A and B are shown apart, each in its own frame.
Chain A
Amino acid sequence: MKYKLGSVYFAILGAITLVFGAWEFGATLGAPVTTEIGWLEIPAGTWEEVWRGVVIFLAGALIVVGAFKLRDIHGLGKAVLGSIMLWIVAGCDIFGRILDSIASNEATWINSLDEFLATYGPPYNPALWLLPFSLVIIYFIHARRE
């Protein structure tokens, strides 16, 4: 039962990831799409964002493919690989935010407490929104081990 639910969950998560990926690189390549909706921000503008978008898109594709055979170790492996790719992008974003929250790039050197906290506020990009949902894969890794 848990694998059935897991399959549905990761198929949906993978599909959403895939759409976000396409949205990111589409926005940078000039597609007429919105880049900010409330607390969600689609990074667009530089060639690195195209790269980011491609990574998220491929991560979504791997999660979807893996979701259909989650009970099988090879299916789970693909979903884990997709999640790892998502974690790489989200990890880099978090790392960038941490560094941004410290240095002020001005003569004051270090940000004030308000500036420090403001860095962690919304909007967030898709990888950060998807990160907590992708962590569910850890449960399935443990379940497999047991």
Chain B
Amino acid sequence: MKKILLAGNPNVGKSVMFNRLSGARATVSNYPGTTVDFTKSWMRIAGEEFEIIDLPGAFSLEPKDKAEEVARDMLEKEKADVVVSVIDATTIERGLYLTLEMIEKGYPVMVALNMSDVARDKKVKIDTKRLEEILGVPVVETVATTGSGLKELVSRIGEAKSVDVGAIKRRARGVRRKNVARKSLSVDERWELIDRISKQVVFRGKYKHTLKDVISDLSVRPATGIPLAIAVLFGFWAFFGAFAGFFTDGFAVPAFDEHFLPWIQGAWPAEGSIHYAIFVGDPEAACCFEAFGVLTSGLFVAFGVVLPAIAAFYLILTILEDTGYLPRLAVLVDAVFHKIGLHGFAIVPTILSLGCNVPAVTATRVLETRKQRFMMMALLAVFIPCGAQIGIMQELIPAYAGLILIYLFFGYFVTGAVIDKLTPGRSPEILIDVPPYRSPTMKNVRTKTWSRVAQFIKIAVPFVLGGIVVVNLLYWVGVMDWLEDVTAPVFLTWFGVPSVTVGALVMAFMRKDMAVGMLGGMSAAGLLTTGQLITSVVLVSIYFPCLATFIMILKEGGIRDLLKSLVVLVASFFIFGGLMHAIVTLAGV
């Protein structure tokens, strides 16, 4: 089967084009680095089946981060029949750099000048015919978001070919005489050639700043951008709380606690048996948080609490991504993140992590150095609670959930600064394109939110249900009682919490949201005071990452990074757990 590769700089619309061409549903957002791995699909052109591959964005074939490395390796490995070089029509120079590199490598290239509508708005005119003459490969103007130009692109795919870069140089100079064929150019020669080409094909008209440009500019200036960021994050939090609370308190709590729980407690046979304990849990429990059975707490937490919380989170995150606000936030927080050896783009995996740690660990690929990736993975795993956990915290301790988050962010920055000092390696400057603000499309918001929620359910629900089975079995065979006895001195003296908390910590290794739910049950049963509940929630948060995140860190960072992350985790657990105990004691909570 023939292969088409879509290559280009980050955030030029490759994934939108990929979705349009193949009918697939690759994740697209309005910021660079959304695609950190390749995506494959298939399409039919003139009766022939083609495999189409969407590559991560790259500025050059000399990779500076893991995502660029994936793009280069795929280009080398896949032996594509056609490489479509997708170029941002508003700034073709940078796209031409990668295009020339691909031409030098001998790949059969064609060029898609994408976002040509934005270029027109910005009074940038490109002489496509002349560009095609110089490059010697097909050049097509496209607007991937509307599908304009894609028909022509597909119809000309057969014209893509390998060309000699020496010939491009001659044509750009207007020289007819034949030189010896050139295989490659130096960096300076390449930029010189790009300069020569753009002088002949790009014409910039007089562009007047619009209100949109001014708002965009104000969003990255600290004096105006920080107030906006405070407002946007407030909106995020308020929407999250209202939406999740509406479904959980309005419908799930009455449905589960008043109807389902009493029914199943009576209907399930053989109270006191092992299967009753595993599937229903406590026969006297008054609410699902307290019962701790697979069919009671498990279903209630997974679908009644976590699902609305995660849907709310991803809905608002998708809107923020598609408007293009995230890269502005990255620029704004750059100075703060530099203090801990990261840069502004670290905000992207951090915010993604507030949804689910698993995709966030993958998103660390956009960071350039191994040091930054290790730091980010360790900090995410230890200090950033996922949306599911935040949802349950909001449900159980609404008055303290925000304060716990602030405390965890404090831990994130303090620990980040310490790891930065202790870990050798580089921390390069931020290199980020701030895309224009765009209106999110209903279709993309719907598809992306749904696919993320579905992915989350696929990852989370088996761990929630499986975790309850494991913990109940451990209680049944007496392992948990033994653990409680062993850990009691440390838990009581250092953390100020009773040793029953150990059950939640074991659960936390499977799912942290369910572990917080379990703590809620203990609190409802009178086993924990409010202060102990707060400390326990903090302990669960900074304890081992859940199993899925654990596996992902192992995959992305290898065993060495995983072990180093565990050292960070153990130290943070004792330091920040003990500190929280001191705070709640002094505050008299």
Q: Are these two chains actual partners, yes or no? A: yes
A144 touches B235 (CB 8 A): no
Chain A interface, >50% SS class: helix
B254 touches A141 (CB 8 A): no
The CA-CA distance from A102 to B403 in the complex, in Å, is 29
A103 touches B230 (CB 8 A): no
Query: What residues on A are CB-neighbors of B246 within 8 Å?
Result: 99, 102-103
A55 touches B231 (CB 8 A): yes
Q: B209 near A: Cβ within 8 Å?
A: yes
Q: B227 near A: Cβ within 8 Å?
A: yes
Q: Determine, out of B63-71, B237-245, B378-386, B576-584, the stretch whose residues face the partner at the interface.
A: B237-245
Query: What residues on A are CB-neighbors of B235 within 8 Å?
Result: 88-89, 91-92
Closest to A91 in B: B235
Residue of A48, A59, A80, A105 touching B237 (CB-CB under 8 A): A48
1/0 per residue, CB under 8 A from B, across A32-57: the answer is 00000000000000111001101100
Residue of B234, B242, B399 touching A46 (CB-CB under 8 A): B399
B242 touches A88 (CB 8 A): no
Q: A120 near B: Cβ within 8 Å?
A: no
The CA-CA distance from A95 to B239 in the complex, in Å, is 8
Given contacts A48-B402, A81-B224, contact A102 B231 (CB under 8 A): no
- Size of the A side of the interface (Cβ < 8 Å), in residues, is 37
Q: A84 near B: Cβ within 8 Å?
A: yes
Given contacts A48-B402, A62-B224, A73-B209, contact A80 B231 (CB under 8 A): no
Q: B1 near A: Cβ within 8 Å?
A: no
Q: How far is the CB of B527 from chain A (nearest CB, A)?
A: 26
Q: A11 near B: Cβ within 8 Å?
A: no
Residue of B214, B227, B250 touching A58 (CB-CB under 8 A): B227
Query: What residues on B are CB-neighbors of A105 within 8 Å?
Result: 249-250, 253-254
Q: A74 near B: Cβ within 8 Å?
A: yes
B250 touches A92 (CB 8 A): no
Residue of A51, A62, A95, A99 touching B234 (CB-CB under 8 A): A51
Q: Which residues of A contact B (CB under 8 A)?
A: 46-48, 51-52, 54-55, 58-59, 61-62, 73-74, 76-78, 80-81, 84-85, 88-89, 91-92, 95-96, 99, 102-107, 109, 141, 144-145
Q: Which residues of B contact A (CB under 8 A)?
A: 209, 211, 214-215, 217-219, 224, 227-228, 230-232, 234-235, 237-239, 242-243, 245-246, 249-251, 253-254, 258, 399, 402-403
13 contacts between A and B (CB under 8 A): A51-B237, A54-B230, A58-B227, A58-B230, A81-B215, A81-B219, A85-B228, A89-B235, A103-B251, A104-B250, A105-B249, A105-B253, A107-B258
